[in-house]
Chain A
């Protein structure tokens, strides 16, 4: 009964929407925290540069939040349009976090509106700062709730199926799945990390382009410090994720690691090229026994191989490349930010050299690509399931024709929105550089006095 082209295009359209939405959603979760920290530093140190940083961030944030909100809304409704059978189950079992997410979103939307339109309205800047707390909490909590839904898809629980009927539904249990803690933790810290590194990249870029202003130096140092903290947290939670996978979704781990035979003391395979027919790996780097250690915290632990699973229940093997890319970027960013922060304290000269600055500039987009790679890995890694062990993707999709046409339309839409938002953001900051804005503020102050 499943309409194969409808399944294919439903998957494609969902991938388009999420891939595009994730860029803005990650910014949406990460930036409010950065604005909050900047404004707090500004108040505490009585330093107008940090206040200005918060204000400029907030202004740019509006553009990204607009695109994030509309694409998020699109995705929310697309779930029912493209995956009606999944949403029927979701409505019965996992509606609670979906519902709570809209509350968090509402809360954030209201306070963001107030925050943006009350600059300088309060005598006491601390009052204005207080408005940011619900914005930051709202955006992070909505990520928490929506990630809970995704975690449920990976390790469904909180219901029973008796003769094809759903019974014994426990909404709270469905939220607190085994996949939930690592997923939620990883999503949050990577969003903060990405926001920090993209802002560091912008500051480094401004300095490379010749701006000598102390504002950019302060901004760069602040965001490299924050990036360091969050990238280390990312690595730690990433390690917990590997242990979760070993326990609950071993086929995802095995496919990501190209680990075929169940054995003890398994090597970790980095990079390489696979010959799928013979299961032979070439040009790889092997770290002896390290996969066993990652999965089981024991160099001689036994890890289940891919050949122990039914062939029609294993994900595609290309997810290994996604995994490698994600981890490599993560490691690179830890090293890069560590060297920068340490070098800044010790007064090393080379961190101010052009080539090092270019590395920081490259770090911003690379972190974004790592976010995408991570999501593709997580999502493709549970193929062929939409609800692991319960419902396959092909059973969940719409049977309507015309999904292909819709995928094309949305593809065009996302390209237009993507280009539009970049143009607007560039124009916004190019026409109003920091130097100009600071000068205007001083002139205004002069008039008052």
Chain B
């Protein structure tokens, strides 16, 4: 394995981390707001707030990690993605700013404020949609090189059915992951009313998830045949991923083994995400940028890898501590202890 592959693998893991914790966070915000709107707040808010409060800031860091890492390992992405992404990127940032601030405003000062909670919820649904645009762009065909400068073709982007399939996939996957996680968390907290409602949401959002996956497969064949063929080569990975999905749905319907169901969700998305990533190789942006022509110099690459490994010694125990104290702590989840500042 060469260092370019190592670099992109590290980044892909960061991105997966963000997608996982981000989805739980985005979905939780959406369900919380939805609960307030439909008068089901009393069922959901408690379990959602208990999970979100200590970890909301951590979610954001995964995102920063990814984009700082990609500039470090693949500096040319600043030009190829930075320049065309000005407008979509700025919109993502504005959503993120509103979202992060209003979460703190709502939960630390005016708990239950309808306006703040809805802003948090709506931005939560728009974030995955806006972020997924980057994946669409990386498929090629939307960025043209004009006078040596990459420019985004907005008309092509927004009229492409591929774009909308990806948006639908990101939103439904986010809500599906989040609902399954919260079902498990509510079950641990023995909050059965919340568990049953969230279980229903998970099953509902599984439907558009399946539809959009089929849609993307069809679209990609006509949009980027090379990528499509490479994806077919990995058919067995997709098959295992689909089996895991079926397993989760089975346990959710049977109302048993929520922990295992959550594990299967993670497995399903890890496989799908990495199969997608591997089949994308070697392109960062088809066909302009590969991981080889954009890679940083060797010295920096080695320094970054060493720093990354040292950093993990700091982060893994810290992450373990926060999970142990809040997510895997039954007393905290049940709400027996509430010692917030």
Q: Which of B64, B82, B307, B326 sits near A84, CB closer than 8 Å?
A: B82
* B:63-78 near A, CB below 8 Å: 63-65, 67-69, 71-78
A69 at the interface (CB under 8 A from B): yes
Residue of A nearest to B320 (CB): A110
Q: Would you mind naming 22 contact pairs between A and B with Cβ atoms under 8 Å apart?
A: A1-B147, A67-B100, A69-B57, A70-B96, A76-B67, A85-B79, A87-B82, A88-B79, A91-B72, A91-B75, A92-B300, A99-B307, A99-B308, A103-B311, A110-B58, A113-B326, A114-B322, A120-B339, A169-B297, A398-B82, A410-B93, A428-B109
Asked whether A73 lies within 8 Å of B341 as measured between CB atoms, the reply is no
Provided the pairs A81-B82, A90-B75 are in contact, do residues A410 and B87 lie with their beta carbons within 8 angstroms? no
Q: Which of B68, B77, B86, B89 sits near A98, CB closer than 8 Å?
A: B68
Asked whether B64 lies within 8 Å of A102 as measured between CB atoms, the reply is yes
Map CB proximity to A onto B298-341 as digits: 1 under 8 Å, 0 otherwise: 01100110011001001100110110011000000000010111
Asked whether A78 lies within 8 Å of B93 as measured between CB atoms, the reply is yes
Chain-B contact segment, one of A232-240, A256-264, A275-283, A419-427: A419-427
Residues of B participating in the A interface, judged by any CB pair closer than 8 Å: 53-58, 60-61, 63-65, 67-69, 71-79, 81-87, 89-90, 92-94, 96-105, 108-110, 147, 149, 151, 296-297, 299-300, 303-304, 307-308, 311, 314-315, 318-319, 321-322, 325-326, 337, 339-341
* A:75-107 near B, CB below 8 Å: 76-78, 80-82, 84-85, 87-93, 95-96, 98-103, 105-107
Provided the pairs A95-B72, A170-B299, A417-B97 are in contact, do residues A424 and B90 lie with their beta carbons within 8 angstroms? no
Asked whether B97 lies within 8 Å of A71 as measured between CB atoms, the reply is yes
Provided the pairs A87-B78, A109-B58, A118-B339 are in contact, do residues A92 and B86 lie with their beta carbons within 8 angstroms? no
Asked whether B61 lies within 8 Å of A66 as measured between CB atoms, the reply is no
Asked whether A91 lies within 8 Å of B321 as measured between CB atoms, the reply is no
A402 at the interface (CB under 8 A from B): yes
Asked whether B319 lies within 8 Å of A110 as measured between CB atoms, the reply is yes
Contacts of B57 on A, CB cut-off 8 Å? 65-66, 69, 109, 112-113
Pick the most buried of B63, B69, B105: most chain A CB atoms within 10 A of its CB: B105
* A:116-135 near B, CB below 8 Å: 116-121, 134
Asked whether B68 lies within 8 Å of A88 as measured between CB atoms, the reply is no
A399 at the interface (CB under 8 A from B): yes
How far is A62 from B300 in the complex, measured between Cα atoms in Å?
35
A265 at the interface (CB under 8 A from B): no
A55 at the interface (CB under 8 A from B): yes
Pick the most buried of B72, B109, B151: most chain A CB atoms within 10 A of its CB: B109
Asked whether A105 lies within 8 Å of B75 as measured between CB atoms, the reply is no
Asked whether B339 lies within 8 Å of A117 as measured between CB atoms, the reply is yes
Asked whether A74 lies within 8 Å of B297 as measured between CB atoms, the reply is no
Q: Which of A101, A109, A119 sits near B60, CB closer than 8 Å?
A: A109
Contacts of A46 on B, CB cut-off 8 Å? none
Asked whether A413 lies within 8 Å of B108 as measured between CB atoms, the reply is no
Further pairs besides A92-B296, A119-B340: 19, Cβ < 8 Å: A59-B108, A65-B104, A70-B101, A73-B63, A73-B97, A73-B100, A80-B89, A88-B78, A98-B68, A100-B307, A102-B65, A109-B58, A113-B322, A113-B326, A119-B341, A121-B339, A402-B86, A424-B108, A427-B109
Chain A at the B interface: mostly helix, strand, loop or mixed?
helix
Contacts of B341 on A, CB cut-off 8 Å? 55, 58-59, 62, 115-117, 119
Contacts of A272 on B, CB cut-off 8 Å? none
Asked whether B61 lies within 8 Å of A106 as measured between CB atoms, the reply is yes
Chain B at the A interface: mostly helix, strand, loop or mixed?
helix
Asked whether B58 lies within 8 Å of A113 as measured between CB atoms, the reply is yes
Asked whether A428 lies within 8 Å of B108 as measured between CB atoms, the reply is yes
How far is A271 from B304 in the complex, measured between Cα atoms in Å?
47
B103: min CB distance to chain A, Å: 7
Residue of A nearest to B331 (CB): A121
A70: min CB distance to chain B, Å: 4
Asked whether A111 lies within 8 Å of B108 as measured between CB atoms, the reply is no
Asked whether B326 lies within 8 Å of A117 as measured between CB atoms, the reply is yes
How far is A1 from B83 in the complex, measured between Cα atoms in Å?
15
Contacts of B311 on A, CB cut-off 8 Å? 100, 103
Provided the pairs A92-B296, A95-B75, A417-B101 are in contact, do residues A84 and B89 lie with their beta carbons within 8 angstroms? no
How far is A403 from B85 in the complex, measured between Cα atoms in Å?
11
Number of A-B contacts (CB under 8 A): 240
Asked whether B101 lies within 8 Å of A88 as measured between CB atoms, the reply is no
Contacts of B307 on A, CB cut-off 8 Å? 96, 99-100, 103
A27: min CB distance to chain B, Å: 14
**What interface size band does chain A fall in?**
35 or more
Contacts of B77 on A, CB cut-off 8 Å? 80
How far is A166 from B297 in the complex, measured between Cα atoms in Å?
9
Asked whether B108 lies within 8 Å of A62 as measured between CB atoms, the reply is yes
Contacts of B337 on A, CB cut-off 8 Å? 121
The 8 closest A-B pairs by CB, nearest first: A91-B75, A66-B104, A95-B72, A87-B78, A80-B82, A70-B100, A84-B82, A113-B54
Contacts of B296 on A, CB cut-off 8 Å? 91-92, 95
Asked whether B110 lies within 8 Å of A91 as measured between CB atoms, the reply is no
How far is A76 from B93 in the complex, measured between Cα atoms in Å?
10
Asked whether B83 lies within 8 Å of A398 as measured between CB atoms, the reply is yes
Contacts of A113 on B, CB cut-off 8 Å? 53-58, 322, 326
A229: min CB distance to chain B, Å: 27
Contacts of A77 on B, CB cut-off 8 Å? 67, 89, 92-93
Contacts of A400 on B, CB cut-off 8 Å? 83-84, 86, 151
Residue of B nearest to A100 (CB): B307
* A:395-418 near B, CB below 8 Å: 398-400, 402-403, 406, 409-410, 413, 416-417
How far is A138 from B81 in the complex, measured between Cα atoms in Å?
30
Residue of A nearest to B312 (CB): A103
Residue of A nearest to B66 (CB): A102
Contacts of A76 on B, CB cut-off 8 Å? 64, 67-68
A222 at the interface (CB under 8 A from B): no
A362 at the interface (CB under 8 A from B): no
Asked whether B67 lies within 8 Å of A80 as measured between CB atoms, the reply is yes
How far is A87 from B83 in the complex, measured between Cα atoms in Å?
11
How far is A403 from B83 in the complex, measured between Cα atoms in Å?
11
A181 at the interface (CB under 8 A from B): no
Provided the pairs A70-B96, A81-B90 are in contact, do residues A420 and B101 lie with their beta carbons within 8 angstroms? yes
Q: Which of A58, A63, A115, A167 sits near B109, CB closer than 8 Å?
A: A63
Q: Which of B60, B147, B339 sits near A69, CB closer than 8 Å?
A: B60
Residue of B nearest to A111 (CB): B318
How far is A402 from B154 in the complex, measured between Cα atoms in Å?
13
A171 at the interface (CB under 8 A from B): yes
How far is A81 from B77 in the complex, measured between Cα atoms in Å?
10
Contacts of A134 on B, CB cut-off 8 Å? 318
